[in-house]
């Protein structure tokens, strides 16, 4: 058990740094750059029942301290993921991986979750009820506590593996949705997904993205993510994975001080393919500077503090 190891919903991982779904493909692409087994784990490309070609282009736009994307859950479909992507991944990644699942109905979430749960490589199911770039699914399930609970229950019925619900920040009360997922059987919460935004081309006077709006990610959203992780971690008893604008070891520790048990790194991977590796390498020296011996001790210390605050009514 090393200094950086943490427990993620009952499974120990070597460190808390996890590339976020949609920014790391199915992993093997990055294995050409470095040994991806250095990662805690990663969340692979969001998977639906049927193949999706995604939204029309242009679907990426740069903006100050971040980027907008409207990819629209492009993926090869669950059958292709099982028959081709996971076997290819097995040759270069020897740890449990997080399967990210999206859907447009309860039946689709249940169907995909059942199939991926049967794969030995899959350690956790991350259920995306927060994608802002598709219509009739994704975020429509994640903006209402009852709908979020119904997806959680549907997935919980078909798997014994840890279920992590990925939540949207595009809501007025993130805590009520997180608690509804917990009550419905979730083993963990991951947040935040992207914030809705848009850009306009000054010359054409039209939106830059073909889909008009997209999801804002990158350093610009870090303070919002931190605030929501703080709120949710103080309201639920299950682990929280924090994400949103993380680019450094300092960001990781700040997110963990807000209550996260692990973190996901997204947009930074698209800027620098070594981003996660560099963060992992920098963590020990930053921990030394802050007099943090192990991350487990930090997590336990903060959990005790939250419990005392709850008892005292703060």
Q: Are 132 and 193 in contact (CB under 8 A)?
A: yes
Q: Are 195 and 170 in contact (CB under 8 A)?
A: yes
Structural contact between residues 72 and 66, judged by C-beta atoms closer than 8 angstroms: no
Half-sphere exposure of 47 (CA within 13 A, CB side): 30
Report the SS3 class of residue 87: helix
Catalytic residues: 131
Q: Closest Cα partner for 26 from 69, 90, 70? A: 90
Question: By the 8 A CB rule, do 24 and 269 touch?
Answer: yes
CB burial string 29-65: b at 16+ within 10 A, e below: ebeeeeebeebbbbbbbbbbbeebeebeeebebebee
Helix (H, G, I), strand (E, B) or coil at 275: helix
Judge contact between 13 and 164, C-beta under 8 A: no
Residue in 118, 107, 41, 116 with CA at minimum distance from that of residue 77: 116
User: Would strands 163-166 and 122-128 be described as parallel, antiparallel, or unpaired?
Assistant: parallel
């Amino acid at each position: 058990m090393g200094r950086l190891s943490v427990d993620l919903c009952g499974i120990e991982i070597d460190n808390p740094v996890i590339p976020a779904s949609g920014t790391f493909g199915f992993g093997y692409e990055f294995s050409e750059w470095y040994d991806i087994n250095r990662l805690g784990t990663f969340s692979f490309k969001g998977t639906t029942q049927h193949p999706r070609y995604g939204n029309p282009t242009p679907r990426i736009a740069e903006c100050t301290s971040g980027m907008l994307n409207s990819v629209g859950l492009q993926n090869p479909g669950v059958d292709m993921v099982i028959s081709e992507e996971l076997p290819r991944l097995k040759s270069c990644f020897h740890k449990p991986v997080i399967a990210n699942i999206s859907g447009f109905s309860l039946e689709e979430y249940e169907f995909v979750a059942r199939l991926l749960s049967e794969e030995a490589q899959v350690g956790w199911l991350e259920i995306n009820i927060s994608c802002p770039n598709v219509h009739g699914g994704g975020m429509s399930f994640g903006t209402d506590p009852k709908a979020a609970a119904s997806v959680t229950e549907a997935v919980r019925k078909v798997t014994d593996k840890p279920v992590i619900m990925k939540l949207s920040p595009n809501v007025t009360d993130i805590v009520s949705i997180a608690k509804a997922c917990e009550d419905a059987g979730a083993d963990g919460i991951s947040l935040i997904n992207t914030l809705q935004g848009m850009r306009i081309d000054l010359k054409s006077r039209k939106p830059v993205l073909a889909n008009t709006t997209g999801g804002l990610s990158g350093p610009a959203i870090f303070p919002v993510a931190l605030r929501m992780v703080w709120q949710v971690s103080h309201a639920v008893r299950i682990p929280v994975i924090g994400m949103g604008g993380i680019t450094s070891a300092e960001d990781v520790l700040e997110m963990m001080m807000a209550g996260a048990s692990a973190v996901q790194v997204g947009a930074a991977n698209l800027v620098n393919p070594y981003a996660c590796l560099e963060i992992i390498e920098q963590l020990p020296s930053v921990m030394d500077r802050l007099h943090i011996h192990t991350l487990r001790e930090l997590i336990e210390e903060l959990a005790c503090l939250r419990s005392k605050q709850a008892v005292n009514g703060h």
